[in-house]
């Protein structure tokens, strides 16, 4: 298949491009940076600077849309607007643009990023792809993002929304920063530590994305997470053990709320106990089903 990837120079997109090529597919890398080079791609196409949603037309079987404003940082009004616009508004414009492509070139499927934040903060409740959306800014963003992607169904495209947890890898995401913090002996639980964390090893994430592309029966949400969710306290304990460093520090909830405002409650103090039901139905076997296995591979 010819697979287009937005965000192909990013942490997940780059690994997905490598794995897809290794599996015999062609990769078309879309990038906004003129002059950038994606060595693993079959073809690199540059998005128009003033209209990055207007992807240059080429024959595609699938389009994987992964780009979006980082969630990290203070959630000021301006930051929230950028998060919303780069996900919801951008995807709406992207789907509308795909409608202008010749039918023979238009991808048969759209695989669009979303997040486990769709479920909101649900305590100990087990959550699969049939669970209803939760409350909060991230839940609103993810619901709007998925609704925008689903508009592609009117173009005859199969749509999959990737509700991803924290992706663990050597060269991107949260793990490199966490390793530095824990390596200095400054690691510790956040708030009560009872909040659940959905996570997945990078290699499982990209293989599961490709599995969803190749499985025609799959459509709608797919939880991009490992079978074993852990609490923040357990994640802290296992990472400290893997790094052979102490984790005595504890960041009180009030301090996080004072410093980070709304981001603290939704990203650090809240969580989701997510299980990958659709992955199991596809018959996907996780290379790293437990956090212990993932951290041993990464640390």
**Tens-of-pLDDT digits for all 299 residues of the chain?**
999 999 888 899 999 999 999 999 999 999 887 656 565 667 888 888 889 999 999 999 999 999 888 888 888 999 999 999 999 999 999 999 999 999 999 999 999 999 999 999 999 999 999 999 999 999 999 999 999 999 999 999 999 999 999 999 998 888 998 898 888 888 889 999 999 999 999 999 999 999 999 999 999 999 999 999 999 999 999 999 999 998 888 888 888 887 777 787 888 888 999 999 999 999 999 999 999 999 999 98
Return the structure tokens found at 17: 């491009």
Report pLDDT for 232: 94
Report pLDDT for 37: 56
How many domains are there within the chain?
Answer: 1
Report pLDDT for 34: 64
Is 126 contained in some domain?
yes
Is 244 contained in some domain?
no
Is 20 contained in some domain?
yes
Report pLDDT for 26: 95
Is 148 contained in some domain?
yes
Report pLDDT for 124: 95
State pTM to two decimals.
0.93
Picking from 134, 254, 246, 257, the residue whose alpha carbon sits closest to that of residue 198 is 134
Distance CA 117, CA 270 (A): 9
Report pLDDT for 40: 65
Range of the domain at 282: 2-169+198-226+274-287
Report pLDDT for 38: 61
CA angle (102, 103, 108) in 5-degree steps: 125
Report pLDDT for 294: 96
Distance CA 41, CA 175 (A): 26
Is 269 contained in some domain?
no
Is 53 contained in some domain?
yes
- What is the CATH classification number for the domain harbouring 32? 3.40.50.720
CA angle (27, 95, 168) in 5-degree steps: 50
Is 299 contained in some domain?
no
Report pLDDT for 213: 97
Report pLDDT for 256: 80
């Amino acid at each position: 298949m010819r697979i287009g990837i937005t965000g192909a120079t990013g942490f997940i997109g780059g690994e997905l491009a490598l794995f897809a090529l290794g599996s015999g597919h062609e990769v078309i890398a879309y990038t906004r940076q003129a002059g950038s080079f994606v060595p693993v791609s079959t073809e690199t196409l540059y998005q128009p600077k003033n209209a990055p949603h207007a992807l240059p037309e080429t024959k595609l079987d699938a389009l994987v849309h992964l780009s979006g404003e980082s969630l990290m940082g203070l959630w000021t009004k301006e930051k929230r607007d950028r998060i919303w616009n780069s996900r919801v508004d951008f995807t709406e414009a992207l789907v509308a643009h795909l409608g202008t492509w010749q039918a023979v070139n238009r991808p048969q499927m759209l695989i669009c990023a979303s997040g486990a934040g769709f479920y909101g903060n649900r305590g100990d409740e087990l959550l699969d792809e049939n669970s209803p959306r939760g409350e909060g800014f991230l839940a609103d963003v993810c619901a709007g993002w998925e609704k925008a992607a689903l508009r592609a169904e009117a173009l005859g495209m199969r749509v999959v929304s990737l509700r991803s947890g924290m992706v663990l890898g050597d060269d991107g995401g949260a793990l490199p920063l966490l390793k530095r913090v824990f390596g200095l002996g400054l690691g510790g639980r956040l708030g009560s530590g009872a909040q659940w964390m959905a996570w997945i090893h990078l290699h499982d994430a990209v293989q599961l994305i490709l599995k969803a592309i190749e499985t025609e029966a799959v459509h709608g949400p797919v939880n991009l997470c490992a079978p074993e969710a852990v609490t923040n306290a357990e994640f802290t304990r296992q990472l400290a053990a893997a790094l052979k460093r102490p984790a005595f520090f504890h960041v009180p909830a009030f301090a996080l709320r004072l410093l980070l405002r709304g981001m603290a409650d939704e990203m650090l103090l809240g969580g989701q106990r997510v299980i990958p039901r659709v992955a199991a139905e596809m018959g996907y076997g996780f290379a790293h089903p437990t956090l212990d296995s993932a951290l041993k591979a990464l640390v």
